[in-house]
Structures are given as structure tokens and as C-alpha cells.
Amino acid sequence: MRIGSVLENQNIEKRISITPEIAKKYISLGFEISLSENYGEHLGITDNEYTSLGVKILKDENEIINNVDLLIQLGLLSDEKCSMIKENQILIGIFDPYDNKDKLENLVKKNIKIFSLELLPRITRAQSMDILSSQANLAGYKAVIEAFANFKKAIPMMMTAAGTIPAAKVLVVGAGVAGLQAIATAKRMGAIVFATDVRMASKEQVESLGGKFLTVDESENLETEGGYAKEVSDEFKKKQEDLLNETLKKIDIVICTALIPGKKAPLIIKDHMIANMQPGSVIYDLAAVQGGNTVFTKVDEVIVKDGIKIMGEKNILNNLPISASNLYSKNVFNFVSNLLDKEKNQININLEDEIIEKTLIK
């Protein structure tokens, strides 16, 4: 069995899908690995590191796509490269089936088996494959680092002979994986942290990390069976808006992480709220690529509004590509291992397995 991966579009994606450590594991399972030339060069990983393990490095990416059984990527390949994928090949990655519906349907019609890993069910057995959690964890950490780097004051409280510098106050909007890591990171750096989320189950997690959980009175638990946030009612939105408006008056840094899978990011921080914030405050919007949680968010731009910096990148993980690649490649390896029938030494697409059934694009 042959596994391959070609270099992503470097203008969009710096992560890689197969690190040397994981290549070695695939080979130990009996796979042959083919990668494109200079596959990890931008991360300081030489082709020699791969070839010393038995990986084939090829100049012609078309040759890789044409000859492998499993093609592992991060995002969907260009239309030209997708057209080269053949019947019965398996494609694994993060393919955004909501936005790429037509392209994926065309591939399925060619009898190409596509697994999009953001569709993994939230069950215990799938945790080691959970690419959303592993990548969001890093994103939450990096968002805090980026926001703090753009904040012009000290973060922790400092008592000096010249006077006391108060600790920065941080608000994390959305307490999923990214939000919880943001809370933990901000607390470690000495900030006073507040957090809000529509899911009441988040309260205990926020408080366990030292954050103060903000919630509207008589709020219901707005959580899906899969653990994601539901869309909220207009009445809830109004109550939440009033709470945020008052809270933001005393906040220095906001980390926005609120997302609803497959839909535009909810607009949470509106213009009048930003107008009430202290000049010099910073908002980092991790939801930028899906429209943003603030009214002014623009992808890959720093917007200054009334003295408030509003930041949001298309792919913040490009700022942590080595760590992100290490985790992603391990997640995918665990997924491929689950596909493998070790007795027959072949891939078995067992649709009675919830992990396989939920991630397969039909």
C-alpha cells in the first residue's frame, strides 16, 4: 500500500501532513511513502531526513498523485491536481465540505473515497484523531500571544517603587478548545481572565482554569449533542449583548473564538460595544475566516477603530507550522491506523464504524 502527500499552496498553508516521525510509523505498518521534493524544507526538514527512513522523494507531483492508494493533505488540492486523482483512491484531509460541496461531489462521482476529518464524531475513541481539537488548542494559545504582542502595556500586575501596574483584563468569547487554551495561556501570563459561552457546561471548565464565567440570567444550555454551540434566540442575543457591552468597558484584550460549524461566525461584538472600550485595547478574532465575531474584522488586516486594534488571520497556524504539523500528522496517522485491517494488511472502509461512516463524504 502506498501513501503520498504533495506540498500545499505555500501562500495559503505552511503545515505538512506527514512529518519524519510519522513517516517512520507508516513504514513500520508496511506502507510505502512518496512525498514531493522539498516537502518539509520550509520547516527546516530536509529531504535527507525522509530518504534516510525509506521515503521516496519525487520531483513530479503528478506521479505521486497518480500512483498512491492514499493521498493525505491539509486542504483540497487545485482543480488541476484534483482532476488527476483516480477511481478507488482515498483522499484524507480537512476539506470544508460546506464550502467545497460541488468539488467534493464531483470527486465522489469518480468513485474517489474522501474522508474530511473535521467531521469526526466527538466520541472517546476518536479523540486521538481529533484534528479540530489539536489545531484549535494551538490557535487559542497563539491568539493570546499575538494579542499580547500588540498590547502596549504589561500583562501581569507589577508592584514597583514607582507605583503599581495593574494586571491586564482579558475576555475570551467562546469557551471551546481554543477558548479554554486562551484562558489558560492568559492566566499563566498573569492576566485577569473572564469568559463567556452559550454552553453552560463550559462554566466549570472556565473556572477550573482560574477564569470568571460570565453568563446571562436564566440562560439555557445551548449545546448540540456533538458538543458544539447552537444558534441562539433573539432574546438571548439581546441579554448577551447587554452583558458584553458592560463587561467590555473594563476589558483590555478580547479573544474571539465563537464558531458554528458550517455557518457564518456569529456577530457578537458590535460597533457600539467597541466604541465603549478603552483606547489601546486589542481584539484578536479567531473567527475571522468565517466572517468574524466583530463587525469590523477583516482577514489578514489590522483594523484600528476608535483606538482599538482588531486583528484576524486567515490561518493563524501558519505562525506555528511545526507544532501544528506534528499534531495534525499524528491525528491522521491514528485515523489511517483505524482504517487498516492489520490481519489482511489492507484498507477496510467499514461503514459500521462510526468514525469512518461520519467522516466519509458520500
Does the pLDDT at position 155 exceed 60? yes
What average pLDDT does range 116-128 have in this prediction? 95
pLDDT at position 237 is: 75
Is the distance from CB of 199 to CB of 221 less than 8 angstroms? yes
Topology agreement, domain 2-119+321-359 and domain 136-318: yes
Closest residue by Cα to residue 115 from 343, 339, 341: 339
Active site residue 240: no
The catalytic position among 133, 181, 202, 329 is 133
Does the pLDDT at position 345 exceed 60? yes
Does the pLDDT at position 264 exceed 60? yes
The catalytic position among 122, 128, 219, 337 is 122
pLDDT at position 238 is: 83
Q: Is 111 helix (H, G, I), strand (E, B) or coil?
A: coil
pLDDT in tens, 76-110: 999 999 999 999 999 999 999 988 999 999 999 99
pLDDT at position 355 is: 97
Does the pLDDT at position 309 exceed 60? yes
Active site residue 127: yes
The catalytic position among 52, 83, 127, 208 is 127
Is the distance from CB of 260 to CB of 248 less than 8 angstroms? no
pLDDT at position 230 is: 56
CATH superfamily for domain 136-318: NAD(P)-binding Rossmann-like Domain (3.40.50.720)
pLDDT at position 344 is: 77
Active site residue 141: no
The catalytic position among 34, 36, 39, 130 is 130
Does the pLDDT at position 217 exceed 80? no
pLDDT in tens, 238-259: 888 899 999 999 999 999 999 8
pLDDT at position 165 is: 96
Q: CA 329, 331, 332, 337 torsion: positive or negative?
A: positive
Q: What is the dihedral of CA 145, 147, 152, 157, to 10 degrees?
A: -60
Q: Is 58 helix (H, G, I), strand (E, B) or coil?
A: strand
pLDDT level of residue 220 (50, 70, 90 thresholds)? low
The catalytic position among 2, 228, 278, 337 is 228
pLDDT level of residue 232 (50, 70, 90 thresholds)? low
What average pLDDT does range 200-223 have in this prediction? 82
Active site residue 89: no
pLDDT at position 341 is: 87
In the chain, alpha helices (H) = 20-28, 47-51, 61-67, 79-82, 101-109, 131-149, 177-188, 202-208, 234-248, 271-275, 321-339, 354-359
DSSP state of 181: H
pLDDT at position 80 is: 92
Instruction: List the chain domain ranges.
Output: 2-119+321-359, 136-318
pLDDT in tens, 39-62: 999 999 999 999 999 999 999 999
Check whether domain 2-119+321-359 has CATH 3.40.50.720, yes or no: yes
What average pLDDT does range 108-131 have in this prediction? 95
pLDDT at position 261 is: 76
Active site residue 202: no
pLDDT level of residue 227 (50, 70, 90 thresholds)? low
Does the pLDDT at position 235 exceed 90? no
pLDDT at position 342 is: 80
Rounded CA-CA distance 311/248 in Å is: 17
